[in-house]
Structure 1
C-alpha cells in the first residue's frame, strides 16, 4: 500500500513538472518568435517594412499592413522634386500595367516638405497619375523610413519584407526585373 501511494505521488509529481515545463517552453518560444520578428523590422533589404498608418489626399484611411498578401511598391515623392517629376510619367504607365490584386502602388507625399498641399492635385493631374497618395504631414513616415533624398522607392514582397530599395528615380528596366511587369 505504501508503495502504491509513492507511485501515485511520483506519477502526479511527474505530470505536474511536465505540465509546468510545457507551459514554460511554450511561453519562451512565443517570446523568442516575437523578439526575432521585432528585430527584422527596418528599412533595409530583407527587413520587414515598418507599418504606415495615415490618411490619403482624398481623406481615406490607410494602413500598410492591410496590403499583406500582395507585393507593394512604396514611392516617396514631393511635387517640387525634379527627379520625382521625371519619374512620374513612368509611374503613371506602371500603374496601368500592374496585375490587379497582385501588386499595389502606394505613393507617399512628403507633405511636410511641400510648399503647399494645394500643389499635390495639380501635380498628379498634370502627369495623369491616378494616385491617392498617403500624406506624410508631420514627417514621421519620412523619418521612420530614413528618407534622405527623393524619390525613394521600396518594393515589398507579399509578407511585407523589403526586397528592393531604390534611392533615386525608378527605371523601366528595374521595374521589369524586380516586378516582372512589362511597361509600354
Structure 2
C-alpha cells in the first residue's frame, strides 16, 4: 500500500509529466504554425506579401528580360497601355521617379499590355513622346497581364530586393502617394 507521502510525490510527478506533455504539444503546434507562416510568406503570387511571379518579356531591342534578373534591387513594375488616359497622366511621374532613383538600388520597368494595342509602333511613339528613361517590355500575348491578374490599368507593383511584393496599386499613382511611401525610404522628399 502506498503511504500518503509517496502518493503526493507520485501525484506531483504525474502532474509534472502532464504539464510537460501539454506544453510540448503546444510548442509543437506553435512551431508548426511558424513553419506554415514561413511557407506562406515565401509563396509565389501577385499580391502584397507574395514573392512576385517571374516573367520573361522582350524589350525594344529584342532582348528577353526576366523579372528575376533584377533580384537584389527594388523594382517598380508598371503595367500600362498607350490609349489609357490615367497611364498617360502617370507616365511623367514614373519618368521623374526613375530620374530620382536611377543611381540607387532601384529599377523601374514598364510592361506594355501590347495585346491591347494596335501595334508596337504606337508603343514606341508613346515612349518617345514621354521621354521614358526606363526599360519597357512588350506583353504581346497578354500572358503576364493574366498571370498578374490585372483588373485594370495602370497597375503598379513595388517589389523588394528579395522579390517580395511590398505594394500593389490598382489605378493611377501620384507623386503624393509615393513620396512618403516606406518603400522609397524617404528618397523622394
TM-score tier after normalising by the smaller chain length = 0.7 to 0.9
Q: 1:143 to 1:170 in 2, by over 3 A?
A: same
Structure 1 Cα separation of the partners of residues 135 and 105 of structure 2: 18
Structure 2 Cα separation of the partners of residues 115 and 181 of structure 1: 37
Task: Note the residue ranges of structure 2 that are not aligned, 5 or more in a row.
Answer: 1-34
Would you say 1:181 and 2:187 are equivalent positions?
yes
Task: Note the residue ranges of structure 1 that are not aligned, 5 or more in a row.
Answer: 1-31
Structure 1 Cα separation of the partners of residues 109 and 137 of structure 2: 7
Q: Which has the larger radius of gyration?
A: 2
Structure 1 Cα separation of the partners of residues 176 and 162 of structure 2: 24
On the 8 A contact 1:56/1:62 being kept in 2, the answer is yes
Would you say 1:163 and 2:169 are equivalent positions?
no
* Residue of structure 1 aligned with 2:70, choices 67, 72, 79: 67
* Residue of structure 1 aligned with 2:95, choices 83, 92, 102: 92
Structure 2 Cα separation of the partners of residues 64 and 164 of structure 1: 16
Secondary structure of 2:180's partner?
helix
Q: Deviations for 1:13-53, whole angstroms, at most 9, x for unmatched residues?
A: xxxxxxxxxxxxxxxxxxx89x9379611111000000011
Which portions of structure 1, spanning 4 or more consecutive aligned residues, are displaced by more than 4 angstroms? none
Partner of residue 172, structure 1: 175
Would you say 1:80 and 2:71 are equivalent positions?
no
How far is 1:154 from its partner? 0.3
Partner of residue 114, structure 2: 111
How far is 1:101 from its partner? 4.3
Partner of residue 13, structure 1: none
Q: 1:132 to 1:69 in 2, by over 3 A?
A: closer
* Residue of structure 1 aligned with 2:48, choices 21, 30, 45: 45
Give TM-score, length-normalised by structure 2.
Answer: 0.74
Secondary structure of 1:153's partner?
strand
Partner of residue 31, structure 2: none
Would you say 1:129 and 2:132 are equivalent positions?
yes
Structure 2 Cα separation of the partners of residues 132 and 49 of structure 1: 18
Secondary structure of 2:124's partner?
helix
Structure 2 Cα separation of the partners of residues 88 and 38 of structure 1: 32
On the 8 A contact 2:80/2:153 being kept in 1, the answer is yes
